[in-house]
Chain A
Amino acid sequence: MTNIGTVDGTAGRIMIRLENLRKEYPKEPKPAVDDLTLEIPEGEIVILVGPSGCGKTTTMKMINRIIEPTSGRIIVDDKDVTHEDPDQLRRRIGYVIQQIGLFPHQTIAENIATVPKLLGWDAKRIDARIDELLETVSMSPATYRNRYPKQLSGGQRQRVGVARALSGDPAVMLMDEPFGAIDPITRDRLQNEFLRLQAEVRKTIVFVTHDIDEAIKMGDRIAILQEGSRIAQYDTPEQILTAPASDFVADFIGAGASLKRLNLSRVRDIGLTQWPTVQLGTEPSEVIETLRRSDKGAALVLDEANHPRRWVSALDLQRADGRPLDQIGLPPEAVVEPQATLNDALNELITANYSVAIVVDADGTYQGIVDIDHINEAIRGMRTVARAKARAGLAEDRDDDLLTKGTTP
């Protein structure tokens, strides 16, 4: 049986290639990693996800040879590193583990300086790098440089862990459940921060998690692994959600695949609808006229800068008693920015007045609205595209089969 995860031509250059990688432990009948071949494209976050004991961590730790493979080859950046000096190899690969493992007896600056010192950078360059990295992870160098790890919160330690892993400017990063030990609210924020950071630095990242939701959110590509690190499916999150390759994958994704898909697209990716709006200071009669022309029950009041101010319905106007528009009706809740995920938008609009989420740009200027029909349509669209892709893939396979059969007597 083959155990191969390759990528098609649309992906970038292959940064990491594992070839027939195998790890056996003495006294254990089955290999922990069973002849795995896996291609990891440059600049992508590839997630290894699977139930505990499936070999995902072992697989990741063989890339920087914390665990030595029994057989097979590891190729990083077109170089066979299977027998290279492991310390030299590791200095070129960022490494973040769940417990972070900051050195408690060293200051934050000393922690971050570890790899640059090993690489022999001069003191001035190291100093500048420490400040730059602390800024990158939104921690003020002046405040945090000379603190010790015990003086930081869990979230701050995690940030320093990422900064430390980036310190030698490695092309490749390995992350083993990096957000695993953090409370859910902080985790969400750190995940978003990390994605923003990755959009700038474009590292090739191998990321291990057991949490399929995290995999879908963080991954450009996901390898779902079964026992022995056997690839059940290696594909983009969209494809995995839409066309699970086996019952194992479907079970692992669990119920609510459609809901999970909401995390994949963002408000800016779907068209916005317009809603009747009126400027602050408009005569009540004009507002009523605007409402009558639309099929909506309320108008959105905007101020001079086009920032949403109030929801005003016809009933509110009748009861206004001459009060201005910004003192009647309801405040505009459920305001989202274009980079919010559809999941965020849906979450907001479910509880909102008039069941819509108001979309504003970074300055707070009104852009349009998103409603449930919209989100529904977007999901249907995604599913159609992904199904078509899955079918095209199947058709190709069948053609190959026919060709093979044609040549055999």
Chain B
Amino acid sequence: MKLIKKYIPLAIVFTFGVLTLASYYVPHKVSVDYTELVSQWENIVYAFAFLLGLISLFYSHYNKIARKADGWGYSIFVFVGFLAMVIPAYISGGKQGSETGITLLGWSFRYIYNALSSTMFAVLAFYIVSTAYRSFRIKSKQAFVLFVAAFILILGKVPLGQIIWDSVLGWTKCGVSDVIEWIMSVPAVAGKRGIMIGISIGAIVTSFKIIFGIEKQYLGKD
């Protein structure tokens, strides 16, 4: 039992890990075909993994409705929203547009999903402003540097900010957009590169640990 519960899964990780790693560096038709095939397989498995999440979500909200838990009425809207996208998708065959204009799926996407998702992210603008108020209370030199970088970025991307910059610092012959470009391509790049190098080292080490079966927490408990 230990063989099929533990060793075969670990062998699958090792096999696919080593083959995928090797195929990246082997310029041969076989490795190209392998990469294409396994990439397709991954898409398929991810599609089923999505179903796992979907069923889990539905199960949780169905339970809330069945038990009449606090706020159970809102759970009905989860199913309403789901059907509002899936039924039009079925009727439209998954197409958002046709020769005559938008399909029912396109309509649902534009007036339901897009309206909801963009507003949800737009609402965050207000919270970011309140966060900015807290984070911009300059308590140290580092916080001052963060403030200046963020302030210039924000100032330079609104017309009013550009006018203010030009009237106050116009004599320097250095536009705010030039300063932004310099920040983004020199000091910010240095910070970003340091982080990215650190992340990549961490990701590579963790990947090796997974391939060689050192890291196996994802298997769960026996």
A and B found bound together: no
